[in-house]
Structures are given as structure tokens and as C-alpha cells.
Amino acid sequence: MSKLKRLFSVAGLALLVLVTGCASHCVQQYPRAFEFEKDTFAYRNDLKWEYVFNDATGKTSHRDRVPEPEYTHHCFAVARSARQFFQHARFDPYLRIADDKTYRQLINEVVARDPSECTSEEKRIVIPGFSNLREFSTKKPNLLQDECGGAWRSYFQRGHWRMMLGFTGRHQEHEVARLIASLRANRPPVVHIVKFPKLTINHALLLYGVTETEREVRFTTYDPYEPNIPQTLTFERKTREFSFPRNPYFIGGKVDIYEIYRSWNR
């Protein structure tokens, strides 16, 4: 084989690995399911803007919210961190409450672990003095907001390249099957919900429940914008399309979905 052919072969293999991205996906089944009332943050990732929808044209505009919320543009960090605490941490309410310096260190240890990796029960990071993430984030919201990652993570998430390839019905159908398999194994996937290139929605959700019928698949989700009420993401089998209902930041309708934080390049 010539040097040139060898170079193209290596480049092609590298591209294949980048596109498939299945090198380190966790396949372990967790012993319990994700629980909305225990495994989510108590605080909201708020909206920087107030959105205005034109139902006649389908267009969305926005204006600044006054006063400006303090914690915004962290949807990817919030969804990712909820998953990391679920799979890498263990709460022990019988241990003595620690000081803030200790909690900062423990939070950093949790979010430093790759969300695509598995953690055995004995290797989980122990959070003392609290029963679950909901209670922890109620008592220590500022610590968690400071240490779980900045807003820049929403703009520079490692899987954003996937939007450039476009989405087909076949891809979305395969994505549904993969998401269902993860949920059946108690592994709550984080998804990027998007309309590209318009970007009328560019958001992250954590899926933790699924209901199937002949007509559709309904995923129950934790939306970082709404910490108190689960939201629903629907996949219609006939059209092979996802849809998301109207809410304060999205006019509602068709969206595209792909899982993130499932491998080294996602």
C-alpha cells in the first residue's frame, strides 16, 4: 500500500470513529430508575428573554426580561449534572453535614466524571447529610450552580457537530430505539433538542420515562427550565418525527433529537 493510500485509510477510519462515536458508551444497568422528585435540581435554569410567538407566521421574537434572571443558559450543564449525580453519586442523610468547602470539592468530583462512563456502587462519591439531589439543591443552590459548569457549556457541548449532518426519519427512528433501550436499563439519556439551522429551539432535556403505543412513543422528561413539572417529548411512528409542546420558550411542533454525553465525541 502506498503512503498516500495508507494516509487516506487512516483518515477514513478516524472519520468513521468520529461519526459513529460508540467507543465508551455505558452499558451497565443501574439498580433503580431515575426519580423526578429525588434526582432533579430544585432550582430553575431560567430564560434570559421573554419569547413572543406569531401563530400566523410561526415566527418567534424575543425581548429582554426585566429584571434579568441570575441563572440562565445552563440547560446543558443542568441536564448533564443531574445525570452525573444519578450515576456517580450516593447521598447519605445519616452522615454529618459538611462545610461548603467540602461540598464544593465533592460536587467537582462528581461533575468531573465522564457521563458516558459507568460507576459501581462502591465507587460512587458520597454526599453526606442529604437524602437526594433535590434536597441538596434546595439547601445548597449557589454551590451547585457555581460548580456544575458555566453557561459556555451550552454553546461548546462536544456533540454539537452532529447538527451539521442533518436528520432523517430513519435516524430519528434509530435514535428512539436507542433511547428506549437506555431507559429500560435505568440509564436516563440526555438529548439535544434542536431545529437546525433555524435554532428556534436549542435545548437539553434528560429523559427518564417512556410509554409506547402503536401510534407513538412518549418520553417523560426533566426540563431544566421547569424543575417542578415533568414534560413530554413525543415520537410519531408513522411520520418518524419528534414533537415538543408549546411552552414559554418554544412555539411547539416538530423538533429533531439526538443523544449527547454518550461517548467521547458526543
Q: Where do the domains of the chain lie?
A: 36-154, 157-260
For residue 20, what pLDDT band results from cuts at 50, 70 and 90? very low
For residue 236, what pLDDT band results from cuts at 50, 70 and 90? very high
Q: Extract the C-alpha cell encoding 225.
A: 427550565
Tell me if 169 sits within 8 A of 241, measured CB to CB: yes
Q: Extract the C-alpha cell encoding 120.
A: 459501581
Distance, in Å, from the CA atom of 218 to the CA atom of 210, rounded to the nearest integer, reads 6
Distance, in Å, from the CA atom of 6 to the CA atom of 221, rounded to the nearest integer, reads 46
Provide the whole-model pTM.
0.86
- For 20, 98, 123, 179, 246, the CA distances from 218, given in Å and listed in that order, are 26, 41, 34, 11, 16
| Average of per-residue pLDDT values in the chain | 87
pLDDT at 217: 98
Any idea which residue has 439519556 for its cell? 189
pLDDT at 206: 98
pLDDT tens sequence across 77-118: 999 999 999 999 999 999 999 999 999 999 999 999 998 888
Continuous segment of H or E residues that includes residue 173: helix 169-184
